[in-house]
Amino acid sequence: MNRMRCTPQPTVPLTYIREQEWYCTQCDNVEQVTKEVTEPTDKQRIFNRLLRLSEDYDIQTLNIESKANELVLRVKLPDFDMSEVRAVQYKQQETGFITVDELMNLQKAGFRRPSEVPPKPQPRDRRTLRNRARQRMFQGEPRSI
């Protein structure tokens, strides 16, 4: 169980008290952990979002440089379309073969075989995963009754 409550005295920056309660079903042992957690600043939220870019998109390199009052972001994107490369990989997995043209596109992208193509990045954020699952649920043809 997680419970958040405000501190008795107002603080700057805003601080919460997080109470976690763990219950063991085998030995009926209850353990409580209490921590003071500060609310993240806008700067921290922006930085964390930038770090999660590589989970959502195919990025070769991601460099973040922090200066006094600015963040410098350098993103190196692949010069090929990863969705096409993955489509070739899926076709090879389903049918067992690909054309020479598709193999040449794979080699231009830097992969020798379709099995070397990395999987699509998956975010660790549960909310994003749930939203994507909902979107997939409503795609496609309607079910017959």
67-98: per-residue pLDDT in tens? 888 888 999 888 888 888 888 888 888 888 88
Render pLDDT for 97-112 as a digit per residue (tens, 0 to 9): 888 888 888 888 888 8
Lowest mean pLDDT among 37-41, 47-51, 141-145: 141-145
Q: How far apart are CA 134 and CA 34, in angstroms?
A: 35
Helix (H) or strand (E) holding 63: strand 61-66
Q: How far apart are CA 60 and CA 2, in angstroms?
A: 37
DSSP-derived letter for residue 110 is T
Predicted pLDDT of residue 28: 84
Q: Which of 132, 115, 117, 140 is nearest to 56 (CA)?
A: 132
pTM above 0.75, yes or no: no
